[in-house]
Structures are given as C-alpha cells and as structure tokens.
Structure 1
Amino acid sequence: MSAKTRHGTHSPFVYNLVDKVIYNFKDNSDYNNLENLRESLLKDESVITITDLGAGSQVNNKKQKKIKSLAKNALKPKKLAQLLYRLAKEFKPNNLIELGTCLGLTTAYFSVAVPNAKITTMEGCPQTAKSAQQNWEKLNLSNINVEIGDFDDNLPKVLAKEENIDFVFIDGNHRKQATLNYFDWCLPKVHDKTVLIFDDIYWSVGMKEAWEEIKNHPDVTVTIDLFWIGLVFFKTDQAKQNFKIKF
C-alpha cells in the first residue's frame, strides 16, 4: 500500500505515527546542541585513519581522512537525524542498539531523546569510535556504550545479554546477506513493541532485495518505507500491511 500522505493510511497506528512523529517538523530545543556539534564537525581539520569493515571497505580502508570530510559524507542529514530522535522519543525503548556509530551524531540524537535508555552502538573503526566518544563527552551524554569491531562478532554478543530488544537502528555494512543476518539475529529477541529501522534500503540492488525479504517475513506485521529508511514492526494486533510514505 502506498500513501503519499497520512490521509492515505487506513491503520490508526500508522496514521498517528505519521501525523505525530514522522511529519512533526517543529523546532525543538533539544536539536540545538546536536546541530552545533554537526557544524563543528563539518569544520574539523583533524585527520584520522579509517578502518572500514563494511561495504566500501576496498575504497576507504586504512585511508587518512579529515573529520570534516567524513562528516560531510557520512553524517545523517539533519531531517533524518531528527526523525530518528522523534521515533526513539515516541517508542521510549529501555534498550537501543545502533549498528554504525560513525562520529556519533545520530547516537547523540538517540541519547538526548531517551536519556534513561541503555544505548549500545557498534563501530568497526577504532579512531572513528574514539572521535564519537569525545563528541558525547562534549555533550555530557553518559548512557552510551560503544562496541568496537566487526558487527558479525559484536551483534550476537550484545543480543545475548538482552532478554529482549526494543529499538534497533541498522546502519552499516549495506550488503544483502549481512542485512538479512542482522535481521535474523534480532528476531528471537523481538516483542510486540520492538522497532527495527533499516537505513539505506534503496542503496543497492542487494539492499532492495533484503528489504523485500524483510517485509515479507511472516513475523513482520507492519512496515513503513520512507525511502531513506525502512521501519519494521511486530505488532500482533495489526493486520499485515506495508506502507510507503513520502518523507
């Protein structure tokens, strides 16, 4: 089902989510310090060594890169980062897992949105993770733990420590099989209120195929395709429906 606006949706849950959260473009004072951090990163001349374990590693691996260049190419756009903040604030997860820390700006948005949540973020590159930690310290954020290394090693370990998972943002290693692996590993821990968010669902043919498989999985009841990201829900009181919403 495609819906260009909230009025095209026939699910009260999705209608309210679109109306209250996705299309809520009001200013929020919580954004100010986070966007100030973005501006400072876009001017930061420091150089770090990139270790990239995901898709694109042949291009970036062991390359020297300025923080400002990494910020320009890898940070989530303001509109999307603020949507992720609103989604986290709406669903109030007790635990939040992020695959792909980068410089930690999106992680910081999550931390400010849900200061009482336990946030675990994963990053393959040690120097990028170090920069992210410095950024969180500047913002006095204390509910974030970063796991450095390969997602294939770290995600199963992190999931094993949780009885269930509330909110997962998957933004790293944009390959079809890797994406499906992350989804499959999360499945045993999901519950009625779990939200999985997949980034860059149209990044490649493989990512499009992975998104289609996830949408069609029998445990998935509702998906919302926002083009940039895909939201996945397991709500047992919902008929199975896939929505496309213009964002």
Structure 2
Amino acid sequence: MFFKIKSYFQFLIKSTNQHGVHSPFVYNLVTKCFYDSKKKDAYPRIKSILKNNTVDINFKNAKLINRLIPYLDYKSVLIPEKSSNNIAEILTINNSISISNSEANNKEYDFIYLNINKLKENTEYLETLFSRVHNDSLLLLQAIHSSKEHQLFWKKLQDHYKVKVTIDTFDLGFIFFRKEQEKEHFTIRV
C-alpha cells in the first residue's frame, strides 16, 4: 500500500493536463475523449454492471473505456481476461463492435484490453499481442502502478521498438503504435 501511495505522489508531480501536450493526436484524445464530461446514457448501466459483478475496474476508468471506442471508431476488440464478459458489456453499451475473448486467430485488433499481470508473466505473449495490432491500434493496460514490478514492466514496454506513443493515467497505460508519430510518453491526469 505504501508503494502505491508513493507512486501516486510521483505521478502527480510528473503529470500534466492537456496544456502540457504538444502532440495533436494526444491533445485531441485528451480534450475530446478523456475530459469529455457529458453524461452518457450508458453510465447508469455501467454502474449497475460494476455493482453487480466483481470486475477489477473502477467506475471512472470504465466510463473512459466506454468513451474510447466510439471516439477512436474501433470495431474489433480483444479482451483476453477472466472478467472479459463484464468489460465487454461496458464497451458495447451504445457501440457496435466485435468482441473476441480468444486470440487463436491471426486477426488484427483495433483495441486490446488487459491487466498488466498477463503480460508481465509471459513476454512471449506480448509479442503475440504485438503481432495482432495495426498502426492505429490501442493496447490498454490496467494496473501499471500497482507494484514496483508493474512499473518496471511498463517502462520496458515504453522502450519497445513497436511502441510509439504511451499515455500514463496512473490506473491505465495506453500504448499506441502510430508509425507516423515520434516516440513520446505522456503522463496525464484524468
């Protein structure tokens, strides 16, 4: 617990809002999606899903994830998790997307959501995931600051040659593969 508190204070010192962002792509993502404060019809349903299930995600992050899909116009989602049905419900409210719980095919995905534990335990799995993304894909990782090992692995992911843009929101880590963009890391308060 002490580690997480210390980590959060370090995050606050490093973090910025949209005014510290010089990438047009990230600036628009932050201002039009992350900071979108309009109440959505899906939010009461999301709250109900979270209340009735043991999903390892908070309401604030669930709302953000629900806004990401339509903002980035994603259609194909991979959620290889035990809680995938609940997260899939959160994503698909008011969205028409294809959810897959199995990465058995060679399909490329727009959006992949998972807990960083899944990657940390198996770096071979990371390469499999990276082979299933395209230029505009997003790999969204949960729990990047929950332990020292997770933070170290997050930093390792930022250095990966395929990764171009990362955004740290403390609870979530966003990884983009945009070849047209310079390698950059952002620490954003949400």
- Using structure 1 for the length normalisation, give the TM-score: 0.65
User: How far apart are residue 26 of structure 1 and its match?
Assistant: 1.7
Structure 2 counterpart of 1:164, from 77, 99, 108: 108
What amino acid does structure 1 have at the position aligned with 2:121? Answer: Q
Alignment root-mean-square deviation, CA: 2.1
Counterpart position of 1:50? none
User: How far apart are residue 182 of structure 1 and its match?
Assistant: 3.3
Aligned pairs for 1:38-53 within 5 A: 38-39=50-51, 41=52
Task: Detail structure 1 runs of 4+ shifted over 4 Å in the superposition.
Answer: none
Counterpart position of 1:63? none
What amino acid does structure 2 have at the position aligned with 1:233? Answer: F
Aligned pairs for 1:47-126 within 5 A: 71=54, 74-102=55-83, 104-115=85-96, 117-121=97-101
What amino acid does structure 2 have at the position aligned with 1:89? Answer: P
Q: Deviations over 1:132-187 (max 9, x none)?
A: xxxxxxxxxxxxxxxxxxxxxxxxxx334133121100126457233x34322111
Find the aligned partners of 1:5 and 1:89 in 2 and give their Cα distance: 22
Same amino acid, percent of matched pairs: 27
Counterpart position of 2:24? 12
> Residues 116 and 144 of structure 2 are in contact (CA less than 8 Å); yes or no, is this contact kept in structure 1?
no
Q: Deviations over 1:60-116 (max 9, x none)?
A: xxxxxxx6xxx3xx441111100011112222222101132428432211111532x
What amino acid does structure 2 have at the position aligned with 1:79? Answer: K
Find the aligned partners of 1:36 and 1:177 in 2 and give their Cα distance: 32
> Residues 117 and 150 of structure 2 are in contact (CA less than 8 Å); yes or no, is this contact kept in structure 1?
no
The answer for unaligned runs of 5 or more in structure 2 is 1-13
Query: Secondary structure at 1:159's aligned position in 2?
Result: coil
Q: Max radius of gyration: which structure?
A: 1
Find the aligned partners of 1:241 and 1:183 in 2 and give their Cα distance: 20
Counterpart position of 1:190? 133
Counterpart position of 1:177? 121
> Residues 46 and 62 of structure 2 are in contact (CA less than 8 Å); yes or no, is this contact kept in structure 1?
no
User: How far apart are residue 209 of structure 1 and its match?
Assistant: 1.5
Describe the shift of the 1:30–1:195 C-alpha distance in structure 2 as closer, same or farther (beyond 3 A).
same
- Using structure 2 for the length normalisation, give the TM-score: 0.83
The answer for unaligned runs of 5 or more in structure 1 is 42-66, 122-157
Counterpart position of 2:189? 246
Find the aligned partners of 1:30 and 1:13 in 2 and give their Cα distance: 26
What amino acid does structure 2 have at the position aligned with 1:18? Answer: V
Aligned length: 177
